[in-house]
Amino acid sequence: MHLDGIVLTYMSAWSETDDGERRALLEKCWNENGMYTDPTGDFIGREALCQHIGAFLRRYTGHHFLLASGVNQHHGWLRFGWVLIRPDGSKLMEGCDFGAVDANGRLQSIRGFFGPLPAVASAWPEELVSKN
């Protein structure tokens, strides 16, 4: 599967409320021993990720994820943006995931970040800070 398809399958898993369907999606795109980390915790293995997603979706009933960017990749690393959509269609949260793929083209790690990039600290030297 092409990397874009892998990421789309992974994103679909994050919106799938049925455990069996979610597990089937992750089998297509996630390494059996893959590592997932975000601000809420660390999870090792496909089944642990499947359970984490299920718990998340039970807390946020009716919400779903959408891909918010294309997928950048180089040297086995990738990144993409996402948004979490409320049941009324409004955006609840945005974020960015960074990850790696294994030799079989499955995701072997994802590091998720919540929210937009932070503003530049005012204490940083002015000549190092973009004016844009």
Q: pTM (2 decimals)? A: 0.89
Query: pLDDT tens-digit profile of 54-74?
Result: 999 999 999 999 999 999 999
- Give the pLDDT band (50/70/90) at residue 90: very high
Percent of the chain past pLDDT 90, that is, above it, reads 83
For 24, the enclosing helix (H) or strand (E) is helix 19-29
Q: What is the pLDDT of residue 120?
A: 72
Q: How far apart are CA 92 and CA 82, in angstroms?
A: 11
Instruction: Provide long-range contacts, Cβ within 8 A and 24+ apart, for 78-81.
Output: 78/3, 78/7, 80/7
Count other Cβ atoms within 10 Å, centred on residue 23: 19
